[in-house]
Amino acid sequence: MSTKKLLKDKPMKILVIDVGGSHVKCVSTDHKTPVRFESGPKMTPEQMVENVLKITKGWKFDAVSMGYPGVVRRGRVVREPENLGPCWVGFD
């Protein structure tokens, strides 16, 4: 069965994450009301992932789309964001 056929029969469920300097917001195709938590100048990527998993517990999704307030080239963070904590460069 082709991928095109699968996508036609069942729409993908997308988790959308907006990483901001004061909050991280999450919505999905199944959960249209945003949920959020505070971010800030000390938040590391590990803390962001931990909190996203916590506030989206039980959500089902096939893919993630993320907005991030820093420089990204070829899918990689290349410079630490000014308004978040350290360790974003090199984080997978």
Low-confidence ranges of the chain (pLDDT < 70): 1-8
Give the start-to-end residue ranges of the domains of the chain.
Answer: 3-77
- Largest Cα separation within the chain, whole Å, is 47
The CA-atom distances, in angstroms, between 23 and each of 1, 36, 40, 60 are 41, 6, 7, 22
Domain 3-77 has what CATH class? alpha beta
- pTM of the shown model: 0.84
Six-digit token string for 48:
């962001």
pLDDT of residue 6: 56
